[in-house]
Each structure stands twice: as structure tokens, then as C-alpha cells.
Amino acid sequence: MSIWEETQDSSPFSAGYWRAAAADFRKPRVLAFAALMIAACVALSYIPSIPIGDGGVRVTWGFLARSLCGLVGGPVTALVFGFAEDTISFFIHPTGAYFPGYALTTMLGTMIYALFLYRTKVTVVRIFWAKLCTNALNVVLGSLWSAILYSKGYLYYMTTSLVKNVVMLPVQTAMLCFLLAALLPILGRMGFVPGGQRLRFYR
């Protein structure tokens, strides 16, 4: 049975959109999908990252599962997912002390994917803007958390993070486009997105 109801609004600026997002958060199929994406994030964390050049830029994989959760579950599910995923991932694979700022970044980043991809036609342009916003979020908040936790100032971490995220933007956009081009028809047949949904360029 499909979770999609085409009569509901698709704009984040409408009350109906948020009612639909809250309703989807209560659906067992959506929660099961979100739990699967948490498991995927944990599994993907064990796949070695791929370096690009000599500047410390590395291709990682977790954003793929986060974007799928935002696409299917919507912004309400995304916020809960982000907190749960970051916390569970830390306790399964801890690196240093737990810091809640990183959970906030994950929550907001997953919500951004939802705001661009949930209950709407998925296009390359929307994927690009979603990645641009999440990468900007990583620069702004990630640099703040590093400045709080470590010895160097905010501008140092912001400059380093900005370079990495600018380099990664086209790479991650392409990765996400290939993933969604392959999965949208499958998700449509499963009833998680509108039937016949496919990746478009701009509309």
C-alpha cells in the first residue's frame, strides 16, 4: 500500500505539507525505512573513504542514506532520524567524546534533504541545491564545533572546511544523482514516492 497521497501539498511553505510530514512520521513503513537507513549509515561508515588529491578531501558515503531518509520520510522523520543516527553511530563506532553539536548538524542536514526532495519531483537542480545547502551547513556549524573542541580559531577551520566542501560539491551531487536515478523507480513501485517518479533535470 502506498504511503503517498497526491492530494496533499508539496510545498514546505504550506500547512498541509507539515501535516503530511507529521503523519508520515507515525507510519510504520516510514519508521522501518528510517531504521534501515540508520543501519545503512552505520554500515557505510565502515567502508573506507576515497581520497581526492593531497588536500585531505575524502569521499564518504553516509550522506547517501541520509538523503534517502529525507526523501521518503520528510522533515519531521529527518530530525528524529538525524539524532538517532548520529547517537547510534557514535556508540557503535566511537571516535573521541560524544558532542551533541554533531547530532544537530546531522539533524539539520537530513532535514534539508527532506525540504528539497520530499513530496516533490526530484530533479538534478533540486539535488544540487540540497547538497549546496548541506555543505554550507557543514562549513558553518562544523567549523564552530571544531573551534569549540580544538585549539585553533573558527576562521582556520572554516577556511579548511570551505575548500573541502567546495571540492566535494560536484562529486557528491553526481553520486546522489546516480543513486536516485537508480532507486526512484524502485521506491515508486514500493509506494514510497509517486508512481512513475524518475530523476529529471530541472522540472
Residue 10's φ and ψ, nearest 5 degrees, are -115, 5
The predicted structure's pLDDT at residue 7:
41
Q: Is residue 10 part of a domain?
A: no
Looking at the structure of the chain, the number of domains it has is: 1
Given phi > 0 = left and psi -120 to 50 = alpha, else beta, which region is 11? beta
Q: Is residue 202 part of a domain?
A: no
Residue 106 is part of a domain; what is its CATH number? Answer: 1.10.1760.20
Q: Is residue 7 part of a domain?
A: no
The predicted structure's pLDDT at residue 9:
53
Q: Is residue 147 part of a domain?
A: yes
The predicted structure's pLDDT at residue 202:
78
Q: Is residue 203 part of a domain?
A: no
Residue 58 belongs to domain spanning: 15-189
pLDDT in tens, the chain (203 residues): 445 554 445 788 888 899 999 999 999 999 999 999 999 999 998 888 888 876 678 888 999 999 999 999 999 999 999 999 999 999 888 877 789 999 999 999 999 999 999 989 999 999 999 999 999 999 999 999 999 999 889 999 999 999 999 999 999 999 999 999 999 999 999 989 887 888 998 77
- Report the residue count for the chain: 203
Q: Is residue 4 part of a domain?
A: no
The helix (H) or strand (E) run that includes residue 57 is: strand 57-59
Q: Is residue 198 part of a domain?
A: no
Q: Is residue 199 part of a domain?
A: no
Give the span between the Cα atoms of 155 and 162, in whole angstroms: 10
Burial class from Cβ neighbours inside 10 Å (0-12, 13-18, 19+) for residue 2 reads: middle
Give the span between the Cα atoms of 31 and 24, in whole angstroms: 8
Residue 157's φ and ψ, nearest 5 degrees, are -70, -35
Instruction: Measure CA 123 to chain center.
Output: 16
The predicted structure's pLDDT at residue 105:
97
To the nearest 10 degrees (0 to 180), the angle between helices 100-117 and 62-92 is 160
